[in-house]
């Protein structure tokens, strides 16, 4: 096993466009790192440069202590676990797992020992004599991983392995992969455009936008301390709300009224004029359900246009007006995120016990300690807590992303 160091990696295709632009990621031995971002942001290109399927334009790719830029894929000792599993239908599970060992000319006894060990770990013992066609998707995935395990690969690489599966199977496979990765402790790099997969699978997540690394952090850090509008909008479902905001002292003027924010937050955003406030849906609550103990936030009144009751929670939708500067930035954000939802409405998640109904002028409480304030020009999160935000490359060099 080995760690992987991606150092200032650039990839320019024929037309000179940098599909991957100066990306640096340090992956520890045994770590599970996710590369995530909208379609076309360079995830697959980066993964393919790690494995050796794509030439590197500049930068250093290190596996263990070795620079591998000029090594052929087979000399890098990595295992790409393909989406279609690439299993041989006419071979048994046993022979599918054994395949790389047979290719390398291993003795029958060595093959047998390694295949048995892998099948035990992967719980495939009862299936060794079956053909892949008779297996479930999850079992096939495990066979593909078995083939990678017997090679003693230094790392596993996955490129959107679950994207063709239905939602239920995807959920099962996700937990399966997470469980096996922990059990095997093999360094893993996993590409996905799905933020849920990114949040649930990885030790750390690298968020990419147009070839540029935006933030490298744990799922929790990304969720609580996004470095910019892009990361804030990409991570979380339903997404973070973005509202026009003007800060004066510790007061923030929002479309629904003025709320109070903690002094340290206000200080970071002072004198900046029109900003974009970011507040996640769950930072809101029906004011009538908030007890004294939680009364640290602020209350405002808003017209509820639409309500979805889901039992444990209630989503309420409150439309608002935003000035053109903010609308323009949010439209750009939608484009960057490959999204299509209209964002000049507040989406809030209330307790299922809430009696708020369509058409109500509702009293809403908001935990303003959870509010972020973004610079509308650069998208930078002015209120980010840097000690809990992992790495934000744009701040390394002082140049906003």
Ligand X SMILES: Nc1ncnc2c1ncn2[C@@H]1O[C@H](COP(=O)(O)OP(=O)(O)O)[C@@H](O)[C@H]1O
Give me the residues that bind Mg ion (CB under 5 A), please.
44
Confirm or reject binding of residue 128 to ligand X (CB under 6 A): no
Q: With the C-alpha atoms ordered 281, 284, 289, 290, is the resulting torsion angle positive or negative?
A: positive
List of residues 6+ apart from 287 with CB closer than 8 A: 299, 362, 363, 364, 365
Question: Should residue 39 be labelled a site residue for ligand X when binding is judged by CB under 6 A?
Answer: yes
From candidates 4, 6, 9, 19, binder to ligand X by CB under 6 A: 19
In the bound state with Mg ion, the residue whose beta carbon lies nearer, of 44 and 181, is 44
Stretch that binds ligand X, among 37-45, 73-81, 241-249, 318-326 (CB under 6 A): 37-45
Which parts of 41-80 interact with ligand X (CB under 6 A)? 41-45
- Number of amino acids touching ligand X (CB under 6 A): 11
Q: Contact between 13 and ligand X (CB under 6 A)?
A: yes
Supply the minimum distance, in Å, between the C-beta of residue 154 and Mg ion: 22
- Reference 363, options 283, 275, 298; nearest CA is 298
Instruction: Kindly tell me the burial class for residue 387, based on how many C-beta atoms sit within 10 Å of its own C-beta (0-12, 13-18, 19 or more).
Output: exposed
Q: Is the dihedral of CA 202, 208, 213, 214 positive or negative?
A: negative
Rounded Cα distance between 12 and 19, Å, is: 6
Does 322 contact ligand X by CB under 6 A?
no
Q: H-type helices in 219-322, by residue range?
A: 219-224, 229-234, 263-268
Question: Stretches 32-40, 330-338, 345-353, 389-397: which one binds ligand X (CB under 6 A)?
Answer: 32-40
In whole angstroms, the minimum distance from the beta carbon of 43 to Mg ion comes to 5
* Contact partner, 201, from ligand X, Mg ion, none, Cβ < 5-8 Å per class: none
Cβ-closest position to Mg ion: 44
Q: Give buried/exposed letters for 249-282 (b at 16+ CB in 10 A, else e).
A: ebebbbbbeebebeeebbeebeebebbbbbbbbe
Cis peptide upstream of residue 238 (ω within 30 degrees of 0): yes
- Rounded to a whole number of angstroms, the minimum distance from the CB of residue 392 to ligand X is 20
Q: Least distance to ligand X from the beta carbon of 43, Å?
A: 4
From 3, 30, 40, 171, residue interacting with ligand X (rule: CB under 6 A) = 40
Which residues contact ligand X (rule: CB under 6 A)? Answer: 13-14, 19, 37, 39-45
């Amino acid at each position: 096993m080995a760690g992987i160091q991606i150092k200032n990696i650039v990839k320019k295709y024929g037309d000179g466009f940098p599909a991957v632009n100066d990306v640096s990621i340090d992956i520890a031995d045994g770590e599970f790192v996710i590369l995530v971002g909208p379609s076309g942001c360079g995830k697959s290109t980066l993964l393919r440069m790690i494995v050796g399927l794509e030439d590197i334009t500049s930068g250093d790719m290190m596996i263990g202590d070795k620079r591998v830029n000029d090594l052929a894929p087979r000399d890098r000792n990595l295992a790409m676990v393909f989406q279609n599993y690439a299993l041989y239908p006419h071979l048994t599970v046993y022979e599918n797992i054994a395949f790389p060992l047979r290719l390398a000319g291993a003795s029958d006894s060595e093959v047998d020992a390694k295949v048995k060990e892998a099948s035990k770990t992967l719980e495939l013992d009862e299936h060794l004599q079956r053909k892949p066609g008779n297996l479930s998707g999850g079992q096939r995935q495990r066979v593909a991983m078995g083939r990678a395990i017997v090679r003693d690969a230094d790392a596993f690489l996955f490129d959107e392995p679950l994207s063709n599966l239905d939602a239920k199977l995807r959920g099962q496979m996700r937990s399966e992969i997470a469980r096996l990765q922990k059990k095997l402790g093999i360094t893993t790099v996993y590409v996905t455009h799905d933020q849920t997969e990114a949040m649930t699978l990885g030790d750390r997540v690298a968020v990419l936008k147009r070839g540029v690394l935006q933030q490298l952090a744990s799922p929790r850090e990304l969720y609580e301390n996004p470095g910019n509008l892009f990361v804030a909008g990409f991570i979380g479902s339903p997404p973070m709300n973005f509202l026009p905001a003007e800060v004066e002292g510790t007061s923030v003027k929002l479309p629904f009224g003025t709320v109070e924010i903690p002094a340290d937050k206000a200080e970071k955003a002072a004198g900046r004029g029109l900003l974009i406030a970011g507040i996640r849906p769950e930072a809101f609550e029906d004011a009538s359900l908030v007890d004294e103990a939680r009364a640290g936030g602020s209350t405002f009144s808003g017209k509820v246009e639409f309500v979805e009751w889901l039992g444990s929670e209630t989503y309420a939708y409150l439309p608002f007006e935003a000035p053109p500067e903010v609308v323009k930035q949010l439209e750009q954000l939608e484009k960057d995120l490959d999204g299509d939802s209209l964002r000049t409405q507040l989406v809030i998640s209330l307790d299922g016990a809430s009696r708020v109904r369509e058409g109500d002028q509702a009293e809403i409480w908001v935990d303003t300690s959870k509010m972020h304030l973004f610079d509308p020009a650069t998208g930078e999160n002015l209120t980010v807590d840097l000690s809990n935000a992992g790495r934000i490359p744009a701040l390394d060099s002082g140049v906003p992303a």
